Amino acid sequence: MSLRTRFERFCYNNRDKGIPNLMLYIALGNALVCLLSMFNGGSALYQLLCFDKGKILQGQVWRLVTYVFTQSYGDMIELIFLYFFYLLGRQVELRMGTFRFNLYYLTGVILMDAFGMIFSPVMPDAITTEEQYAFLVSVLPVYRSMAYYLHLSMLLTYATMYPDSEFLIMFILPIKGWIIGMLYLLLTFVSIFNLSFPTMYFPHNLFPLVALGNYLLFMGKDVGNLIPFSWRVRKRPSAKKAAPKDPIPFRAERSEPKKPNYSHRCTICGRTDTTNPELEFRYCSRCNGYYCYCEDHINDHTHIQ
C-alpha cells in the first residue's frame, strides 16, 4: 500500500474530526478586522495580527497564525470576496471531509510561514537609500497579502474538484470551473516571470507558487481534472478489442418450414397439382391415414395400413 493511499485512508477514518465549518470562522474573523479597520484608529487590530517577520522574531509568535484574519485592510469590497471564499471553502470541506480540509488549510499556513520567515525582509529602524526604500515598498506588501493568496488557492482546488461547475462572471457570463482553474494557473506563472512591479525581485516573485503547495500536495493526480474530459478521452490510446481465439458462432436461427406451393401431391409418383394441373387427385378412404393419389394411382396402389 502506497504512502498516499495510507494517508487517504487515515483522513477518511478521521473524516469528522477537526474544526467543522472552518472557513466560516476564518471569514467572520476577517470581516471583523475589515470593519474595525474602516474606523479611525481601528487598524490597530490589523497591525497586531498581520505577518511581520521582525516582530515575530521579537516574540510575537501569534502572527504566524493570526495573519489568516488579515486578508482585508478596511475595504468594503473585500467583504464580498470573503463571502465568496467562504462558499468555496465550505464546498471543498464537504468534498474533503472536516479533518482533511483542516489539514489542507493548516498545510497552506505552514508553507506560507516557512517562506515568509526565510525570505521576507525585516523593516529597519531607518531607511538610508532610495533603493532600499523602493525594495521594501515593493516586497513587504506581498507578505502582507499572505491570507489573500492562501484563500485564493481554494478557487483552484474547487475548480479541480468540480471542473464542470459554472461561475457567473458579472452575474451574467457563465464560465466552466476548469477554465477558471486554467486561467488561475496561467496568471500565476505569468506573474512569476513578469518583470514589472512588484515581482521583479527574486526570490519574492516565487511567492504565488507557495500558495499552490498545499493544492499540489492534496490534489495529486486530480490536477488532471482541469483538462476537459473530452480532451482526455481523445488522448487515451484506443483499446483494441482482441477477437477470441475460438469464437463461438451464433446458433443459426431455425427457419420456419416453407409452405408447399401445391395443394395435392401423389403419394406414389410425387406429381402435384402445380406441376401437372391436368391431373385429378383423390384421397383413398381405405388407407390408414391421409394419403393422396393421382388419377393414375388412385385405383392401382397398395393400401397403407
When pLDDT is averaged across residues 280-305 and rounded to a whole number, the result is 79
pLDDT top residue among 242 and 219: 219
User: Does residue 65 surpass a pLDDT of 60?
Assistant: yes
pLDDT in tens, 68-106: 988 877 677 778 888 888 888 888 888 888 888 999 999
pLDDT top residue among 193 and 200: 193
Rounded to whole angstroms, how far apart are CA atoms 97 and 91? 10
pLDDT top residue among 219 and 23: 23
Residue with C-alpha cell 494517508? 7
Selection from 150, 93, 82 nearest residue 116 by Cα: 150
Strand runs (DSSP E) across 153-263, as ranges?
A: 166-169, 173-176
When pLDDT is averaged across residues 102-123 and rounded to a whole number, the result is 88
Q: What is the pLDDT of residue 239?
A: 45
Q: What is the pLDDT of residue 172?
A: 75
Q: What mean pLDDT, rounded, does the chain reach?
A: 79
Q: Cell for 187?
A: 496568471
Rounded to whole angstroms, how far apart are CA atoms 25 and 18? 13
User: Does residue 67 surpass a pLDDT of 80?
Assistant: yes
Q: At what angle do helices 146-161 and 98-119 cross, to 10 degrees?
A: 140
Rounded to whole angstroms, how far apart are CA atoms 290 and 286? 10
Helix H or strand E encompassing 294: strand 292-294
Q: What is the pLDDT of residue 110?
A: 92
List C-alpha distances in Å: 112 to 186, 208, 286, 289.
21, 10, 112, 104
Residues facing residue 128 across a β-bridge: none
CB 266 within 8 A of CB 255: no
Residue 283, classed as helix, strand or coil, is strand
User: Does residue 245 surpass a pLDDT of 80?
Assistant: no
pLDDT in tens, 197-241: 554 577 777 888 888 888 888 887 777 777 765 565 555 555 445
pTM, full prediction: 0.68
In 236-299, alpha helices (H):
none
pLDDT in tens, 261-280: 778 888 888 888 888 887 88
